[in-house]
Amino acid sequence: MAPKESSPATDPKQPITVLFDRVLVQVSQAEGERRSRAGILIPATAQVSRRLAWADTVAVGPHVRTVKPGDKVLFNPEDRFEVEVQGEEYVILRERDIHAVASERIDGGTGLYL
């Protein structure tokens, strides 16, 4: 009798470990549409050249020094690798590709607040 094959839909969740200097982030759906200063709604399909995006950190690799899970990070959306895990969209970045970090931790920041 041949072993029964399991489908990905019935497999239990597997833990994911992020390696080296990689950061796994999730871009919120609200980031798609935005409003201009004048109040004009700009759809997600409108591309603005060289616009950076914010995302929430989900997991970090062992060699990441400045980002922790739960932080918001600023990155260039053109320099990213997208991955889907169990129906959720994530982005994998290198720590060096992150331009800024917003976190609840107080560690001698610049005094700017989001």
pLDDT in tens, 39-96: 777 665 555 556 788 899 999 999 988 889 999 999 988 877 888 888 888 899 999 8
pLDDT, residue 102, reads 86
pTM of the model: 0.64
User: CATH topology for 22-102?
Assistant: 10 Kd Chaperonin, Protein Cpn10; Chain O (2.30.33)
Count the Cβ atoms, other than its own, within 10 Å of residue 46: 10
**Could you state, in order of their start, the residue ranges of all structural domains in the chain?**
22-102
* Closest by Cα among 54, 31, 56 to 44: 31
Q: Is 75 helix (H, G, I), strand (E, B) or coil?
A: strand
Map tokens 């990213």 to a residue: 80
Out of 8-12, 16-20, 28-32, 87-91, which region has the weakest mean confidence (pLDDT)? 8-12
**Radius of gyration of the chain from Cα atoms?**
18
